Amino acid sequence: MEVSVEFELIPAIDIKDGKCVRLQEGKADQATEYGDDPVAMALKWEREGATRLHVIDLDGAFSGQATHSEIARSIFGAVRIPVQLGGGIRTLDQVERLLALGAARVILGTAAIEHPEIVETAVSRHGDAVVVGIDARNGRVALRGWQTQSSVPAVDLARRMKAIGVERIIYTDIARDGMLYGVNLDETERVAREAQIPVIASGGVAGIEDVRDLWERRAAGIEGVILGRALYERRIDLRQATRALAAWNIC
């Protein structure tokens, strides 16, 4: 698949116990707190030029029940940019309630393996407002807030999702998430190419060089990157990264 895609820089806001945190390798007991007001954080990234936000209800991801819907609704009401929301969304009713609250996109993860019929129905009703998050460790999909390891290859799940109408996935290499090790470029590109589905990359971004490397592979179908710890620890400045992206697009 050789396509021309827009490339988007998407700040992450991960919510645990009502606070903004980042996990390391998806482990709940390895969380670093970066703020106690997710709405204020959303407004900060909007001011700095974000065109979309990636909000994850970590408590929901671990428990299987969306926990921070009210915080999410407050974020939707505070910012003017679209917000994609994930974490513990495993039923059609949850999908529809969160879209009604104001989410531009909802992210389904565990349901993609355990109940693909829910994903298929959600996509048939809501189209590209439904995104599938594929979180993988050593190329195999992890479930239930990354706590359960499956034997399903990430590429195979991406193909299945493409076949039922999913229009994009978010691919996260869990071993790199929050570790500043650099993005798993080859695996991210392989998923996009072999499944022929647009991919938003996640996990491991350490600096602007990782963003550039992903941008250079956009023809494979990589259409953006989620920025987490590198953004919060000021290894990447969002305004500067946005200007750099605009310059690359001109060249």
Residues marked as catalytic? 14, 135
Distance CA 17, CA 103 (A): 20
**Amino acid occupying residue 129:** A
How many of the other CB atoms lie within 10 Å of CB of 67? 21
Is the CB of residue 13 less than 8 Å from the CB of residue 229? no
Q: DSSP H helical segments within the chain, as ranges?
A: 38-47, 58-63, 69-78, 92-101, 110-114, 116-126, 154-163, 185-195, 208-216, 229-232, 238-250
Q: How many CA atoms lie within 13 A of 127 on its CB side?
A: 2
Q: How far apart are CA 92 and CA 120, in angstroms?
A: 10
Locate tokens 């970590």: which residue?
58
